[in-house]
Structure 1
Amino acid sequence: MTRTTFRRPWLAALAVLALAGSTGSGGAEPAAVTWPPKTVRIIVPFAAGSTPDLVGRVLADQLHVRHPGSTFVIENKPGASGNIGTDAVAKASPDGATLGISIPGPLAINTLLFPKLPYDPARDLAPVTLLTRMPSVLAVPTNSGVGSVAEFVARAKADANGLAYASIGAGSLSQLCMEAIARKAGSRMVHIPYAGSPNAVTALIRGDVQAACLPAISVAPQQAAGSVKILAVTTPERSPFLADVPTLKESGIDVQSDAWNALVAPGGTSDALIAAINHEVAAALADPAVIAKLKAQMMLPEPSTPEALRQKITDEKRTWADVIREAGIEIR
């Protein structure tokens, strides 16, 4: 476990957010909700240096700027496709002192991949807000001679043995996206998992694999260097970071895959406390310095209501259930 503490040399009063409301006609005013407490743990269920880790550290730093009297501690608890760290959030006290950064896997996709999880996302976790969104891209080696999605589909259909593609792990969004593309293209592809985006990109450059669907930030520098060709983005609309690159849907393959990060709290956290945290996080994400840091990683802030995050989780399960079942993907 890696612990990183964000501090500033000055002190200020702890911010108090009073949520107005009514308990009914003649009812007493609800007690004021105070957040953050003196120390807040933000658990990241992936290793230091991962995208969720980066988002967590940017958020922790800005929350401390807003509340210098509080300490925000990043705790990395990687393992089991994010399940270990997410379980730690689920089992924490619902008092606002422990939060978790997460992605589609631990909140939605893993419920379809693992026979059993140590937590129930719907019962044991409380959605707070979406945090960021970033594009993934379908990429091929430049020397493959493939210049468009249509050419890639034709190549895939013509290969009786199945084109090999890289992913960042079994059950990862990068694997699911490629399997969805294969289904839409009416072709068969061979999955080669790697330990993270850097290794997958290296395999792509060397020609060990013929394609990959990876976070744009890991591929864009290689396209600039001329070793990789980006064919399409996986987001519903074109990315402002790759404005000249079409979407998969524009290119005739109706596959959409959002790479997002979100903030969750332990199940049982009160609605009032969730609202207070949501308010503070949205304000942090709106800071120009935070926006600039995220854009440097090809991410955009995307705060939401807790209800919108809950719906996003439901949508992810609906999107990938058939792909996982038909591809026979399971993690034991």
Structure 2
Amino acid sequence: MKRRTALVAAALVAAIAPAFAADWPSKPITMVVPFPAGGSTDAVARLIAQGLGQKLGQTVVVDNRAGAAGNLGTDVVARAQPDGYTIVLSTSGPLANNKFLYKQMPFDPLKDLTPIVAVGEIPMGFAVNPNVKVNSLKEFLDEARAKPGKLSIGNPGNGTIGHLTAELIKVQSKVHALSVPYKGDSPAIVDALSGTVDAVCLPITALVPQIQSGKLKGLAVTSRQRFPGLPNLPTALEQGVNAEATVWLAIAGPKGLPAPVVERLNKDINAILATPEAKAKLAQFGATTMGGSPQQLAHLMATDSEKWKKVIEYAHVTLD
């Protein structure tokens, strides 16, 4: 599997357009955001667009193309000319796992996009109602194993990363617990507070106030390292549960984007992400900056695709 994902990652960054305009960029660049204006992805995109415009000497226009869980806007870029004037700031949904959730997927991110750079990531958090008499994720899973199908885990919606993370935890631990989808983080939290569901698996930022106040009991965070906002909350990995899961943001272009364009965008965006302003903006949404090479993003896209494909098939999750 490692060799296969490495080959996929290499292929993702090897596609180079046959010609490259030496005066690039000579006109404004469009950064498509496949989500509505005003959200966290849009805010991060506008920060990067401003900094990128200053470095390139050209305006970078943010174009919001919301719809189909990010697929619509990302597809606009997958179909664009690979001339360096159309890129996308998308998330792990369209870039990794949506193709296994939708039967009619308009593009394949591993074949139709050129990875440029990872931007940031937000881990999931796992918390329970205080009346659930467990003090760790391991204890919760032991309880679920002893009472198959009796414990319930709320999530922010069918096919969301919160839902898939809960399914990943269940698959890895070989337990059966009831998954309860909601329309967003807030209704799931309300039912966890009331005890209607025993636990919730949501982006950690949605859970910070409830865990800090003691209204919910935090059991785990699904990042590799502990979440800075909750330093006392152990990771799932620390507790012996092999469940690393984050929703991440990344910038990509159409297939065949010229190597000089990829290299310049990667260099400049990495420089922007290293600034205190960018780190603070991502931290505002509970995200940590990532950065790195195009090859690292290609590897992330390939390995996350492999991971979520297995979980989605095992749990029979579908969105159409």
TM-score (structure 1 length as normaliser)? 0.83
Kept after mapping to 2: 8 A contact 1:233/1:239: yes
| Counterpart residue type for residue 101 of structure 2 | L
Give the alignment partner of residue 273 of structure 2, picking from 268, 271, 285. 285
Give the alignment partner of residue 232 of structure 2, picking from 222, 244, 249. 244
* Residues 269 and 167 of structure 1, relative CA distance in 2, 3 Å threshold: same
Mapped to 2, the partners of 1:305 and 1:248 lie a distance apart of 27
Kept after mapping to 2: 8 A contact 1:223/1:230: yes
Give the alignment partner of residue 110 of structure 2, picking from 122, 128, 152. 122
* Residues 92 and 206 of structure 1, relative CA distance in 2, 3 Å threshold: farther
Relative contact order higher in (CA < 8 Å, ≥ 6 apart): 2
Q: Is structure 2 residue 43 aligned with structure 1 residue 54?
A: yes
The runs of 5 or more residues in structure 1 that have no matched partner are 1-29
Q: Deviations over 1:255-304 (max 9, x none)?
A: 11132111011112111111111111111111121112222332221112
Q: Is structure 2 residue 281 aligned with structure 1 residue 273?
A: no
Q: Is structure 2 residue 193 aligned with structure 1 residue 213?
A: no
User: Which has more helix, going by share of residues?
Assistant: 2
The runs of 5 or more residues in structure 2 that have no matched partner are 1-18
Q: Deviations over 1:150-171 (max 9, x none)?
A: 2211332243434222222222
Matches within 5 A, 1:184-203: 184-203=172-191
Mapped to 2, the partners of 1:220 and 1:309 lie a distance apart of 28
69-78 vs 258-267, greater mean Cα deviation? 69-78
Q: Is structure 2 residue 172 aligned with structure 1 residue 165?
A: no
Mapped to 2, the partners of 1:112 and 1:177 lie a distance apart of 15
Kept after mapping to 2: 8 A contact 1:167/1:194: yes
| Counterpart residue type for residue 85 of structure 1 | G
Give the alignment partner of residue 327 of structure 1, picking from 306, 315, 320. 315
Mapped to 1, the partners of 2:20 and 2:171 lie a distance apart of 54
* Residues 123 and 187 of structure 1, relative CA distance in 2, 3 Å threshold: closer
SS in 1 for 2:44: helix
Considering only CA atoms, is the larger Rg found in Structure 1 or Structure 2?
1
208-217 vs 279-288, greater mean Cα deviation? 208-217
Deviation at 1:103, TM superposition (A): 1.8
Q: Is structure 2 residue 286 aligned with structure 1 residue 298?
A: yes
* Residues 242 and 322 of structure 1, relative CA distance in 2, 3 Å threshold: same
| Counterpart residue type for residue 108 of structure 1 | A
* Residues 71 and 249 of structure 1, relative CA distance in 2, 3 Å threshold: same
The aligned residue for residue 3 of structure 2 is: none
Q: Deviations over 1:229-279 (max 9, x none)?
A: 211110123233332211112112111113211101111211111111111
SS in 2 for 1:240: coil
Mapped to 2, the partners of 1:201 and 1:326 lie a distance apart of 26
The aligned residue for residue 78 of structure 2 is: 90
TM-score (structure 2 length as normaliser)? 0.86
Deviation at 1:36, TM superposition (A): 4.6
Q: Identity of aligned pairs, percent?
A: 34
The aligned residue for residue 80 of structure 1 is: 68
The aligned residue for residue 147 of structure 1 is: 135
| Counterpart residue type for residue 55 of structure 1 | V
The aligned residue for residue 44 of structure 1 is: 33
* Residues 125 and 134 of structure 1, relative CA distance in 2, 3 Å threshold: same
